[in-house]
Structure 1
Amino acid sequence: MKALVLFSGGVDSTTCLGIAVKKYGVKEVLALSVFYGQKHSKELEAADKIAAHYGVQLKKLDLAIIFADSDCSLLASSDKEIPMESYSEQLRKTDGAPVSTYVPFRNGLFLSSAASIALSHGCEVIYYGAHSDDAAGNAYPDCSSDFNDAINRAIYIGSGCQLRVEAPFIGLTKAQVVKKGLELNVPYELTWSCYEGDCSPCGKCGTCIDRAAAFAANGVADPALAKGV
């Protein structure tokens, strides 16, 4: 295999998957989904459907025990409420700290784990969907370009210069990510982004708000909502 894609089943990682499949072909792409103790499994269920849509191999990894002591509001072990407001509104209350939905060093752990799996499968690159909107204001510091540069160097050196990390959206907004995905006919109708696990997206959490704005900026309705996911 050529590429491993960290794959949650959301907009960004699904767009990454579309890019990797176009570049390398279905047989050369491995998708990796991670359960980390989140409050619902809707994204992971979406990942199954999207992997089947593309016909790529999907591996699953359970890292929940590592986050068992975290009080991140996304986790089932936490009694914190998920904020029903935009990230910009949340950041006004954090005094420069990450938002409450930041899972401690999640991307660092995911990428390190993915590196071991990628090397075992002969991959030369790991893709993940970090973008500039998530890094803005230190909301998710492990989505920043500084973090990406550092983890890429660490994995490249630690793999004996066999493996690199690529974050194709690191300098892009979510609206620009969606634009690329629309050009690639990414199956956004199958994706799930909402932090809540109800039958349909809440439309009020930070990621729902960002997602709606990204599709609106491209002049299209969110196909997942149109389908009634």
Structure 2
Amino acid sequence: MTPSVSPVATPAVVIYSGGMDSFTVLHRARHEGYALHALSFDYGQRHARELEVAARVCRQLDIEHRIIDIRAIHELIDHSALTDTSRPIPEGDYDGDNLSATVVPNRNMILLSLAIAHAVNIGAKKVFYGAHGGDHILYPDCRPEFVDRMNAVAAVANFEPVDICAPYLHADKRAILGDGLSLGLDYSDTWTCYLGEPLACGQCGSCKERLAAFAAHGIADPLPYREPAHGR
């Protein structure tokens, strides 16, 4: 699918959660010929399924990958259903009214700051992350104005400017999946569900958005779901 990366290829950092969006970003950047340095972050999220998937994919692709342990900040960002296991994960459609409980305060600013530092440290000029248009209604740190302002900061925070790249900033999940399918990607190598159970729940907003994207392309999602999975 993708030629081997040249030893002299331009380095780039990718924030890689193991989810569907960052998986596609990782492969898009790889397809464009960058020598990738993938970073995943353990910030005390309620499960590690995505991190396990990310590690496996990077091993298979021989991509340098680090899982960075920043759990020390958990108590600063634990007022979210994604970081507090005592709070229920909301079910239903992917929208702001329903899923506001899943917002993790300042998450992308924290992760991007660390990724920018790593980029400067290794001489990379770009940091990729998976913000996309479907998240604009819910997550402020996935909106174009956030990316613009972070890019302005990344240009002056160090002597070496770094460009923050969000290739799907104006694309929805259907378009992201379409691009990934054009690259021949296998989305069984991703994890999207907010829960970390053996099977995806099919009920949370993240699952429902993913299932809708596959349905829009007229194909089955390769992930196994609990039955019944609404929207399949």
User: TM-score with structure 2 length normalisation?
Assistant: 0.88
For 2:102 and 2:97, the matched residues in 1 are separated by 15
* Range with greater deviation from structure 2 (173-182 or 78-87): 78-87
Could you tell me which residue of structure 1 aligns to residue 7 of structure 2? Answer: none
Shift of 1:57: 0.6
Paired amino acid for 2:75: A
Which residues in structure 2 correspond to 1:53-202 (within 5 Å)? 53-69=60-76, 70-75=78-83, 77-88=84-95, 91-92=96-97, 99-136=100-137, 139-202=138-201
Residues 32 and 58 in structure 1, CA contact (< 8 A), matched pair in contact too: yes
Distance 1:6 1:168 in 2: 13
Report deviation, 1:190: 1.0
* Segment of structure 1 superposing worse, 103-112 or 55-64: 55-64
Q: CA deviation at 1:53?
A: 2.4
Q: Secondary structure at the match of 2:37?
A: strand
Q: Which one is further off, 201-210 or 152-161?
A: 152-161
Q: Which residue number corresponds to residue 34 of structure 1?
A: 41
In structure 2, C-alpha distance between the alignment counterparts of 1:190 and 1:111, rounded to whole Å: 24
* Distance in 1 separating the partners of 2:55 and 2:85: 26
CA RMSD, aligned part only?
1.6
- Structure 2 gaps, min length 5: 1-9, 226-232
- Is the Cα contact below 8 Å between 1:132 and 1:171 reproduced in 2? yes
Give the Cα separation in 2 of the matches to 1:119 and 1:218. Answer: 39
Percent of residue pairs bearing the same amino acid type: 35
User: In structure 2, what residue type is equivalent to 1:51?
Assistant: C
1:147-202 Cα shifts (integer Å, max 9, x gaps): 01111111122133531100000011011001001111223111001110110100
Q: Which residue type is aligned with residue 97 of structure 2? A: R
Question: What is the number of residues matched between the two proteins?
Answer: 215
Letter in 1 for 2:223: A
Q: In the alignment, residue 92 of structure 2 is paired with which amino acid? A: E
Structure showing the higher helix proportion among its residues: 1
State the Cα deviation string for residues 14-66 of structure 1 (Å, max 9, x = none). Answer: 001001111124xx111000011011110001101111222101011112222
SS of the residue 1:31 aligns to: strand
Question: Residue 36 of structure 1 contacts residue 67 of structure 1 at CA under 8 Å; is this kept in 2?
Answer: yes
Q: For structure 1, which segment, 150-159 or 164-173, has the greater mean C-alpha deviation from structure 2 after superposition?
A: 150-159
Which amino acid is 1:186 matched to?
L
Provide the secondary structure at the position in 2 that maps to 1:92: helix
Contact between 1:87 and 1:99, CA under 8 Å: does it hold in 2?
no
2:214 and 2:158 mapped to 1: Cα distance? Answer: 38
Measured in 1, the distance between the counterparts of 2:70 and 2:102 equals: 17
**Structure 1 stretches lacking a partner, 5+ long:** none
Shift of 1:144: 0.4
CA distance in 2, matches of 1:54, 1:188: 15
Partner-residue secondary structure (3-state), 1:192: coil
- Cα distance in 2 for residues equivalent to 1:154 and 1:35: 24
> Following TM superposition, by how much is the alpha carbon of 1:101 offset from its aligned partner in structure 2, in angstroms?
0.6
Matched residues in 1 for 2:185 and 2:62: separation? 13
Distance in 1 (CA, whole Å) between partners of 2:152 and 2:217 is 34
Q: Is the 8 A contact 2:51 2:67 kept in 1?
A: no
